[in-house]
Amino acid sequence: MPDLIIGGSGFVGRNLARRLVDQGREVVVLDRVKDATHSFAGRFVQGDAQDAELVREVLSDVRPETLYHLAANSDISAGVADASLDFGDTLMTTLAVRAAVARVPVRRLVFASSSAIFGVSNAPLAEESEALPEPVSWYGKAKLASEYVLESLAAQRPDLPILMVRFPNVVGPLATHGVVFDFVRKLRSDPSRLDVLGDGNQTKPYVHVAELIDGIEYFLSRAERGITRVNIGPPDLIDVKGIVTEVCSAIGATPAVSYQDSPFGWPGDVPRYEFDTSTMRQAGFTIETTSRAAVRRAAEDLAREWAPS
């Protein structure tokens, strides 16, 4: 049976599609835009995943073993300026998936959730907490609302395994956005200067996309009926100043670095957070690579991708 990736032209989707194809899986991607890197040669359905009838038609045609719902607005700052981006690309796509899966059977559903659902917290972010999440960005609010939408699906389809994976900051090849992507892009344009958003003290966990997908595969293979929530993240954190150091070292640049006075990189940014990964580790899975090593590896990935042929 094939697998269907909704939002497969995005960063994680590109890498997931490549992994599944390398494993010999039949993969179908539904996305509004084609993969500009041309890294996916499988079946592609061009369309807007906000269209519930389209999603139902694709599900009916593909009959996937696993449905990966990755569609979302990945530009958090743009979503702050225009909340319709998050409510459309993030929440409405989930409503479309929910409506379609209620009518067309799939064997397993994976939803890409986010650390952004928690908002600002001084404590490590755990899957379950007595305090209600208070996301500060519309992206985080839309992801949290999406989790609630899928809870209602679970009530209607109690037999369906639904894996909700909460991502930290994800880096790696085939990237479309993010701090490592931005730094490498800027330094390729002008290796003598690097302008950084915020004061450089923003501190977060970073996971390489390959290990994130390892974690998704691990928990998907063990998912039982109902909802499984899990944070997948590394054992440590890195600040933006450390990312500057690793990216510059990886590509051999020595720029003049300019920081801002603000502790926030952009409106809706959470300057610091830490995942509680005890659920992940107790289940027998660990992220071996540190945040610093993941950033370094991602910078090297992107430098190779963009090297002159």
Digit-coded pLDDT (tens) for 76-97: 777 667 878 889 999 999 999 9
Confidence of residue 166 (pLDDT cuts 50, 70, 90): very high
pLDDT at 309: 56
Q: CA–CA separation, 3 vs 64, rounded Å? A: 5
For residue 305, how many other CB atoms are within 10 A of its CB?
13
Phi-psi region of 174 (alpha: psi -120 to 50; beta: other; left: phi over 0): left
What value does the CA radius of gyration of the chain take, rounded to a whole number of Å?
Answer: 19
Q: Which two tokens stand for residue 194?
A: 């690097």
Digit-coded pLDDT (tens) for 236-249: 999 999 999 999 99
Q: CA–CA separation, 49 vs 27, rounded Å? A: 17
With a cut of 90, say whether residue 146 has pLDDT above it.
yes
Q: Check if 3-170+207-231 and 173-204+236-274+289-305 are the same fold.
A: no
How much is the pTM? 0.95
Give the domain ranges of the chain.
Answer: 3-170+207-231, 173-204+236-274+289-305
For residue 264, how many other CB atoms are within 10 A of its CB?
15
Alpha carbon of 255 to those of 164, 178, 189: distances in Å? Answer: 40, 19, 12
| Backbone torsions φ then ψ of 69, nearest 5 degrees | -100, 100
Rounded to 5°, angle at Cα 283 from 280 and 289: 45
Q: CA–CA separation, 308 vs 291, rounded Å? A: 28
> Residue 113 CA to chain centroid, in angstroms?
7
Average the pLDDT over 39-43 and give the result. Answer: 85
The helix or strand, by DSSP H or E, that contains position 227, with its residue range, turns out to be strand 226-231
Residue that has been written with the tokens 């985080």 in this structure: 140
With a cut of 60, say whether residue 25 has pLDDT above it.
yes
173-204+236-274+289-305: CATH architecture: Alpha-Beta Complex (3.90)
Among 41-45, 204-208, 293-297, whose mean pLDDT is lowest?
41-45
Q: Which CATH number fits domain 3-170+207-231: 3.40.50.1980, 1.10.760.10, 3.40.50.720, 3.30.365.10?
A: 3.40.50.720
Digit-coded pLDDT (tens) for 252-283: 999 999 999 998 887 778 999 999 999 999 99
Q: Which of 17, 37, 39, 35 is nearest to 27 (CA)?
A: 17
Listing DSSP states for 273-307 in one string gives: --B--HHHHHTT----S-HHHHHHHHHHHHHHHTS
Confidence of residue 128 (pLDDT cuts 50, 70, 90): confident
